[in-house]
Structure 1
Amino acid sequence: MADRQVIADFARSMGIATSGLRAQAGRMRVISENIANADSTASTPGGDPYRRKVPTFSSELDHTLDAQVVALGRVVRDPTAFRVRHEPSNPAADANGDVKYPNVNSLVEMTDMRDAQRSYEANLNIIHATRSMIQRTLDILKS
């Protein structure tokens, strides 16, 4: 009976860490999109450019594991104001010669990316440690 509980605990640990990997990978995709569009302009004069996206996370119950796991939640648009530059010769300029640029701050995005990478690596380390514990348990049971 204790063996089943140990196996369930290992599976739960792997499942929770895997959900963290998926959530952080989704977060990195959103951040990458923000970085890629940081200097884009609208396709029509005076139009709105790309608007920064912000990933959210949600907690879900995984009935198979009987554990709370994390998931990438809704991706919401950042309502902060666009950056505006006076560039009358730009095709995206409005009647006043102003061009709107995305509300993306590359420094913030790179900081968020590094945080997501560290979280991803932490979850990956949990998976490696759990696999190592499973292997050691199997070795003990064999002897």
Structure 2
Amino acid sequence: MFAAVYHHSLLAGTHRHAIDGASVQVQDVLQTGGAVKRYEPHSPLADANGDVWYPDVNVVEQMADMMSASRDFETNVDVLNNVKSMQQSLLKLGEA
């Protein structure tokens, strides 16, 4: 799990704090279920007992998480582009 870490600083001559930026740090590592054992004696990956160990990964869940993260990223890019456009429009109004 990750957590956002905000960097604060005291503004010179005031008692107010400002946010300088943010970073991400690892907060915790979650261990899920172990590997899945399958009996496949003819596999080149099999051990002496004929067992092959596969990671316990749900491909459908991982794909859904990836698609969700991709959509979130696209939404954030759209928001930033809209903010940029509004700021440019505001600057044009100030020039007139």
Scaled by the length of structure 2, what TM-score is found?
0.72
| Closer/same/farther in 2, CA of residues 129 and 139 from structure 1, 3 Å limit | same
Q: Give the distance between the partners of 1:128 and 1:90, measured in 2 at CA.
A: 52
Q: State the Cα distance separating 1:74 from its structure 2 match.
A: 6.1
Dislocated runs of 4+, deviation >2 Å: 62-65, 67-79
**How many residues are paired up?**
88
Largest Rg, 1 or 2: 2
Counterpart of 1:129 in structure 2 is 82
Aligned match of 1:79: 32
2:15 match? none
Q: When you count strand as a share of all residues, which structure comes out higher? A: 2
Is contact 2:40-2:51 (8 Å) kept?
yes
Aligned-pair identity in percent equals: 33
Give the Cα–Cα distance (whole angstroms) in 1 for the partners of residues 76 and 25 of structure 2.
15
Letter in 2 for 1:133: M
- Which residue number in structure 2 is paired with residue 94 of structure 1? 47
- Partners in 2 of 1:98 and 1:142 — Cα distance? 74
Paired AA for residue 35 in structure 2? F
The whole-number CA distance in structure 2 between the counterparts of 1:62 and 1:129 is: 26
Q: Indicate which of 48, 53, 58 corresponds to 2:3.
A: 58
Counterpart of 1:86, as a letter, is Y
Partner of 2:95: 142
Q: Which has the higher contact order (CA 8 A, sep 6+)?
A: 1
